[in-house]
Each structure stands twice: as structure tokens, then as C-alpha cells.
């Protein structure tokens, strides 16, 4: 099987190469162990809310979580103690100050928010446990649930922080003096330093961010870690305070919640879609990773991820999938149906719906590449797609180009009538070469029918261009030679050009037809919208046959697909000749009941297959 195509992985690889040459920034040295990091280390990871992970660069290098721990421990405090109690300990206002400022709210004596050191120390005191050991176990377990694996502590970094963390000690003792800390500051600081020294890699942090993006459910373990309301509060504070005194410009330029750490990490959360983690030790003047900030800027711009662009959830983008086991609406013989059933797995239909943006397009295209095996025909039904933004268009075109060159026939349908998809339609027509196996059709059923026709043609089972005689037509099966001669005297032969309307909806039903050569399609108008093709009748198939039963009004239009020759039979004429040859009418009606029964059975099979 061919390897999977991933435009996301390709994008990250390109982004990594572009930013790796950026050598700006300085490694943090006020914690001596952090100063030992390799400034060239650089990794990017994206984790989607359904557990897909994309990586580029040094994503397996371990580093310490540092201040990126603050949103998660804040979530712990909210979950264990509730919003009211937590807000008595720490506020939610931005400070405009650096992360380690020794400053409290003059009115309440609280730290301004949980993203600065003072607020994080106050929140860490809320970790539950009767002893330091139990509190440590509680804390590590909490972070491990976000990462989806058991985390541990980098003891060398912990000892380095403990030995040099004098500014944090000043903050802690000041809060003891104002009543914001109740336990021994050294005990609280010990847990805080260990919390900041948790050892993670880029993939861990992306999964942790994706857990917040997925409303608190870990995308790998499927465990609910954080309640939805608490996720909202965490992301809100990350949005306003997560990037310290760069938070306002970050919100303007990038536009999604994020948190940085002085070890060189940045995490970002795109709610409902994905989590991002970047690791690169050199920092800018405010303590944020230089490459991390630039990577997030590019992701936001290139994939339209700014929260105020307006997006929806990605999980429901694929409405339904089915194979060729669900046939087209072309009326076929029993032998043809039996033969085609053997090849149903060679065709897949994916019905896409909703809005296509980065998250939803990634979800749909990943599934598309999974089923794009050699020899497959894939029909992508876009009838229910509301719109596609520029990011989705780019990803779709990249994937279509890659897949259509892999002996995979890719057909996009139902694009023509939606003005919101004009840019996508034009991009596919201009950028994806049809010679490589890509095509675009207006109707999904036509695409399935063409697939079936190709299978039948391979097996030389398609009927030829001769005009089929009456004795080979199913609706006349069982008639004697004399009856057929009598019937032939009552037939009128009609010729229709391709596109010519044979039956108009609402006309009186006085005649029924049988296709002698060619094919016709049946169309209905639904709610005043464009006509929908609901069936196709080929050589030997009857249409308009309900005239034999009720003689009412026509319920649909019938249009010639190609130049067509039809046999026409007047209902009154059939009744007249049946006076002297009664077996003609009874045989035709018996065959008609059988044909209608077969169609009903096929419709039931289709409904079951689409459940």
C-alpha cells in the first residue's frame, strides 16, 4: 500500500526548515541547568482533537515544562475547589509586567492572575494531600493525565531552581505576609519548583494543549480530565495573560490562547480543533521562545486559525461513507447487479458537510488518504459543504494532486451549484491535472453510474448499440410469439436527441416507454431548488410505466442522456388489443409488479447500507 499523503506534515517540514535558520534570542541562564540547552534544538508538533499527531524537527528532546504548567495547575485548582474559592486566592487580570514581578493587587492583596509566578505559587498551594509526598503524587498524576502518559521530574533542573529561586521566595514570603499563603512557603515552593521541573517533550505538550482544545478530553486516552466550564476559564486566562506583557500583541497577531515557558516551549490551543507545541530554547526580551512565537504566527496566518475568524467543530465534517455496495440509481438487469456486487469495495463515497477550514479539512483529508489505496475510485460528495476557506482549498488541492497520481481515481461532485464553493471549484480545475486520475462531475449518482459502467465494460457486459428487440425486454417476458407480433403492431418508435425532454412533470400519463437504445434520466424538482436526478434507465428498461396503473399526472421529468431510441405504447392501445389477447395486459402487469418489487427491494437494501 502506498504511504499516506499528509499536507500537514509537509507544511510543518517546510515551516521547520524556514525558521530553523532564525538564530535570534538568548537562552535563559538565571536557572543554571536551563543554560545548558542546545540553542539549535527546534521542534514543532500539532495534535488534533481526535488524536492525530503531526511533527517536525526535534520533537523527542526532553525539556522542563516551566511556566507552561501554569494553565494546567490552574485548571486543577478550579476543578478541586471551584471558581469562588480560587478567585479569593488569585485574580484574572493582566499585569503588563514580567512573569516574575514582585507585585500584588493593592486592593485585594491577590496575585493578578495565575499565569505569573505569584499567581501560580498561590494556586500550587491548593494541591491536595496530607503530606508533601501525597501532594507531589497528586500533582504529577494530574499532569500525566493531560499528557496521556506518566510524567516524571528532572531532578537536576529541580535542584537548580531550588538553589537559585530567590525571587520566587521573595514572592512567596510576601504572600505569606498578606495572607495569600497559609502553609510554609518553603513547602509550597518545593512543590512549585518540582511542578516547573516536570520533564516533557513536544508531543507531550501538544497532546496536553489538544486536551484543552477538546473541551478537557484527552485525545489519546479519551479520558475527561477537566470539566468544560473549567476549560473555558483556563483558556480565557491564557488568552489574556498567557504571554505576559506580550499578551496584547499576541492576541492581535496570533489570536488563540497560548502559554510560554523559559525552557523554550510554547503551547497554543485552537478550541475544537487542535493543540500546538513548539520547543526552541532561545528567548526574546520578555521570555518567549523566538522560534515558537514565529511558528505560531505562521500557523495562525497560513491556516486562518485566529479565533475571531469564526469556526465550528471538526468532528462532523464527514456526514457519511459508503462503498459501491450502494448502487447507482441506474436500472440494471439482475445479471448486471449480481456482477457489480463483486466489485463494490473498489468504490468509496465520502459525503462532506459543513464549513471547511483547517481543522475540518484536515479531518476529512486524513480519512480520504486512508482509503486511497491502489485501484480505488473515490467520490467526494460536496453537496452539503457550506463553504471552504483558503486554507481548506490549499489542503484539498495538495491532497488531490498527490492522490490522483497514485493510480487512484478521485472524483469531486456537487460543486457546480454552490456559489460559496466557486473558489474551490476554480482551484481544482486549474491546479489538479485530469490526466492523472482526477475529475469533477455535477452529480454523485452519475459518478457511481460511470464507475459501474466501467466495470461492466471491462467484463464486456455492457449492452451494445443495436436496438434491442421486444422479445429481449424484461417487461414483455412470457409473451408468446403471437402476442409479441400483436404488440409490435401497437408500438410507435421515437427518437430523441441528447438533452431533449421526453416526459414533462405534470403532463397526462397516456403512454409508457421502453428504451430501445441509449439511456434516459429521471429528474424531480425539490422545494424549488435545481432539479435532482433520482434515477437512470438504460437499454431495455421501462419508464413512465405508472401510466398503466393509474393514468394520472407525470410525477417527474425524463430527459435523454444521449441520442435515444424509445418504444412508445399507448395505454389505450394496449387495453384495446388486450380485449382479443388478454394475456398481453396480464403478463405486462405481472412483470411490472415484479420490476417494481425488485426496485423496492433494492431501495430497502440501499437504506440499510446507508444506516
Task: From 142, 128, 129, 135, select the one nearest 71 (Cα to Cα).
Answer: 142
Task: From 547, 559, 474, select the one nearest 512 (Cα to Cα).
Answer: 547
Give the active site residue among 70, 89, 203, 259: 70
Q: In this structure, are residues 384 and 354 in contact, taking their beta carbons and an 8 Å threshold?
A: yes
Give the active site residue among 5, 49, 67, 89: 67
Cβ-based burial of 373 (10 A; exposed 0-12, middle 13-18, buried ≥19): middle
Active-site residue, 244 included: yes
Q: Sheet harboring 520-524: ordered strands across?
A: 330-331, 532-537, 520-524, 557-560, 501-503
Q: What are phi and psi of 198, to 5 degrees?
A: -60, 135
Give the active site residue among 192, 246, 279, 567: 192
What are the helix and strand counts (H, E) for the chain?
Answer: 19, 22
CB atoms < 10 A from the CB of 472, how many?
A: 11
Residues 6+ apart with CB under 8 A from 597: none
DSSP annotation of 445:
H
CB atoms < 10 A from the CB of 147, how many?
A: 24
Q: In this structure, are residues 404 and 440 in contact, taking their beta carbons and an 8 Å threshold?
A: no
Give the active site residue among 74, 244, 246, 567: 244
Q: What are phi and psi of 423, to 5 degrees?
A: -65, -40
The C-alpha angle 436, 426, 362, rounded to 5 degrees, equals 75
Active-site residue, 262 included: yes
Q: In this structure, are residues 120 and 89 in contact, taking their beta carbons and an 8 Å threshold?
A: no
Reported residue count of the chain is 611
Q: What is d(CA 443, CA 450) in angstroms, rounded to the nearest whole number?
A: 11
Active-site residue, 203 included: no
Active-site residue, 342 included: no
Give the active site residue among 262, 331, 520, 558: 262
198-200 and 63-64 strand pairing: antiparallel
Active-site residue, 501 included: no
Catalytic positions, written as ranges? 67, 70, 192, 244, 262
Amino acid at each position: 500500500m502506498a504511504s499516506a499523503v499528509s499536507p500537514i506534515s509537509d507544511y510543518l517540514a517546510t515551516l521547520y526548515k524556514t525558521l530553523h535558520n532564525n538564530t535570534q534570542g538568548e537562552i535563559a541562564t538565571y536557572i543554571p541547568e536551563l543554560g545548558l540547552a542546545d540553542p539549535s534544538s527546534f521542534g514543532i508538533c500539532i495534535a488534533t482533537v481526535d488524536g492525530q499527531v503531526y511533527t517536525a524537527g526535534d520533537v523527542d528532546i526532553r525539556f522542563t515544562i516551566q511556566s507552561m504548567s501554569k494553565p494546567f495547575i490552574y485548571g486543577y485548582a478550579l476543578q478541586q475547589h471551584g471558581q469562588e474559592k480560587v478567585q479569593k486566592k488569585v485574580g484574572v487580570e493582566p499585569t503588563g509586567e514580567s512573569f516574575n514581578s514582585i507585585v500584588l493587587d493593592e486592593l485585594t492583596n491577590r496575585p493578578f492572575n495565575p499565569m505569573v509566578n505569584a499567581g501560580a505559587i498561590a494556586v500550587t498551594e491548593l494541591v491536595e494531600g496530607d503530606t508533601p509526598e501525597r501532594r507531589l503524587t497528586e500533582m504529577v498524576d494530574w499532569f500525566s493525565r493531560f499528557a496521556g502518559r506518566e510524567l516524571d521530574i528532572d531532578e537536576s533542573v529541580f535542584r537548580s531552581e531550588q538553589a537559585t529561586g530567590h525571587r520566587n521566595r521573595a514572592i512567596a514570603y510576601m504572600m505569606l505576609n498578606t495572607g495569600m499563603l497559609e502553609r510554609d512557603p518553603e513547602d509550597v515552593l518545593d512543590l512549585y519548583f518540582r511542578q516547573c521541573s516536570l520533564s516533557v517533550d513536544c508531543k507531550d505538550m501538544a497532546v496536553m494543549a489538544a486536551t484543552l482544545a477538546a473541551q478537557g478530553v484527552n485525545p489519546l486516552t479519551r479520558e475527561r480530565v477537566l470539566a468544560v466550564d473549567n476549560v473555558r476559564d483556563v483558556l480565557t486566562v491564557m488568552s489574556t495573560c498567557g504571554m505576559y506583557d506580550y499578551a496584547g500583541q499576541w492576541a492581535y497577531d496570533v489570536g488563540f490562547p497560548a502559554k510560554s515557558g523559559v525552557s523554550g516551549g510554547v503551547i497554543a490551543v485552537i478550541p475544537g480543533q487542535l493543540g500546538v507545541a513548539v520547543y526552541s530554547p532561545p528567548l526574546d526580551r520578555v521570555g518567549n521562545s523566538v522560534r515558537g512565537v514565529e511558528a505560531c504566527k505562521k500557523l495562525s496566518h497560513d491556516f486562518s486559525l485566529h479565533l475571531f475568524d469564526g469556526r465550528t467543530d471538526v468532528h462532523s465534517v464527514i456526514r457519511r461513507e459508503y462503498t459501491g455496495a450502494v448502487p447507482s440509481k441506474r436500472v440494471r438487469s439482475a445479471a448486471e447487479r449480481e456482477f457489480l456486487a463483486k466489485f463494490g469495495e473498489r468504490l468509496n463515497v465520502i459525503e462532506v458537510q459543513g464549513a471547511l477550514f483547517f481543522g475540518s479539512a484536515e479531518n476529512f483529508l486524513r480519512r480520504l488518504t486512508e482509503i486511497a489505496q491502489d485501484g480505488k475510485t473515490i467520490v467526494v460528495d460536496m453537496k452539503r459543504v457550506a463553504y471552504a476557506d483558503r486554507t481548506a482549498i490549499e489542503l484539498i488541492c495538495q491532497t488531490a494532486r498527490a492522490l490522483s497520481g497514485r493510480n487512484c481515481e478521485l472524483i469531486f461532485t456537487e460543486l457546480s451549484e454552490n456559489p460559496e464553493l466557486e473558489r474551490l471549484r476554480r482551484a481544482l480545475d486549474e491546479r489538479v491535472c485530469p490526466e492523472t486520475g482526477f475529475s469533477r462531475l455535477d452529480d454523485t449518482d452519475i459518478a457511481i453510474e460511470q464507475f459501474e459502467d466501467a466495470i461492466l465494460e471491462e467484463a464486456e457486459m455492457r449492452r451494445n448499440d443495436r436496438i434491442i428487440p421486444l422479445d429481449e425486454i424484461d417487461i414483455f417476458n412470457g409473451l408468446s410469439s403471437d402476442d409479441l407480433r400483436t404488440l409490435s403492431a401497437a408500438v410507435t418508435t421515437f427518437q430523441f436527441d441528447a438533452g431533449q425532454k421526453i416526459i414533462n412533470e405534470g403532463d397526462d400519463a397516456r403512454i409508457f416507454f421502453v428504451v430501445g437504445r441509449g439511456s434516459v434520466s429521471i429528474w424531480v424538482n425539490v422545494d424549488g431548488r435545481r432539479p435532482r436526478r433520482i434515477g437512470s434507465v438504460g437499454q431495455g428498461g421501462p419508464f413512465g410505466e405508472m401510466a398503466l396503473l393509474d393514468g394520472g399526472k407525470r410525477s417527474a421529468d425524463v430527459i435523454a442522456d444521449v441520442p435515444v431510441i424509445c418504444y412508445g405504447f399507448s395505454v389505450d392501445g394496449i387495453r384495446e388489443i388486450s380485449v382479443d389477447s388478454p394475456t398481453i395486459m396480464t403478463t405486462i402487469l405481472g412483470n411490472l409488479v415484479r420490476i417494481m418489487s425488485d426496485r423496492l427491494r433494492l431501495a430497502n437494501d440501499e437504506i440499510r447500507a446507508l444506516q
